[in-house]
Amino acid sequence: MSTTNETDSRKTLRLLMPQWQGGYNPPYYLGAQLLNWLAPASDDIQEEVPVSLHTEGIEIEKGTYARADVLEQLRHAFTILHKHQPDRVVVLGGDCGVELAPIAYLNEKYNGDLAILWVDSHPDVKLPDHYIGQHAHVLAALLGVGDEEFIASVPKLVEPDHVLYVGLNEWSAEEEKVMNQFQLNAVTPEELVNDSSAVLNWLEKLRPSKVFIHFDLDVLDLREFRSLLAAYPETYEEMLRKAPKASSMETIIRVLQDVAKAHDIAGLGITEHFPWDAYRLQNMLQRLPLLGDINKKDKAPYKNPEMG
């Protein structure tokens, strides 16, 4: 475990990457900006990855929606990382695709001795053959499967035994094949309720020099936390009935604190903040006198209308 002085002496980059195209939901841009505003103030280096805001005429190329935009944003992220050469990275996203560059950078920097805690309800190992959203391809690319151009951006592939799913509770048949192919380990929400031992024991066996924490907010139970895509207000009650039980916020906080007390955290990424109330409020303000357009009748769609 590192001391406070050792930790404070290292260079940390706070990377704001409000990418939305990976999940084709423009409000992820707002969600990332709000995360950045809400996060504690810091003297760390801060950079923002430029993200395209155009939503019209976007194509599905090689099975991936907005592939050109996502690749361009990926290149910008790598440019920022290589410019600053940080020891640690905090990523505020955006969809889960924002994790590709920082994890790839840190895994190369620490010569593969990087454990990845994928704190997420979903495994994110879908392939373009089955799903167009790059946000669900990201871990597959880090492992070396999927779109060749995304894989080529990863200088050192992640070893499968360095990945642990934390809070996983929903996956597709296609994802299960990839999970079985790589024999990926997982800790369920039920195993986290009483203590963090399942995660800590896995880390103790692996004994990595560094840990990266990918924290998709959808690992939180939507009965407690509603700023999630699945908490769409018009179908919220239906989702409450059919969504699997997920983890409480206090449970995830405790797990991540326990990990940080015992291991050297090289990265933390927080993704997929979908602020329904703020999104609707933003839309309202755009239609009020002296603030916006009083002739505006249409409501901003929560996803690109081209996607249906």
Q: Tell me, what CATH number does 52's domain have?
A: 3.40.800.10
Write out the E strands in 234-283. Answer: 265-271
Question: Which secondary structure element, helix H or strand E, spans residue 111, and what is its range?
Answer: none
Concatenated DSSP letters of 115-135: EEEEESSS-----TTT---GG
Question: CA-CA distance, 90 to 47, in Å (whole number)?
Answer: 11
Domain that holds residue 221: 4-307
Could you list the beta-strand ranges (E) of the chain.
Answer: 12-17, 45-48, 60-61, 64-65, 88-93, 114-119, 163-166, 185-187, 210-216, 265-271
DSSP label at residue 157? P
> In angstroms, rounded to a whole number, what is the distance separating the alpha carbons of residues 308 and 305?
5
User: Residue 95, Cβ neighbours under 10 Å: how many?
Assistant: 31
**Side chain identity at 202, as an amino acid letter?**
W
SS3 29: helix
Q: How far apart are CA 26 and CA 272, in angstroms?
A: 11
Query: Rounded CA gap, 155 and 298, in Å?
Result: 45
pLDDT, tens only, 254-302: 999 999 999 999 999 999 999 999 999 999 999 999 999 999 887 776 7
pLDDT for 173-227, tens place per residue?
999 999 999 999 999 999 999 999 999 999 999 999 999 999 999 999 999 999 9
**Whole-angstrom Cα distance, residue 239 to residue 233?**
10
Q: Are 74 and 135 in contact (CB under 8 A)?
A: no
What percent of the chain has a predicted confidence (pLDDT) above 90?
Answer: 89
Tally of domains in the chain: 1
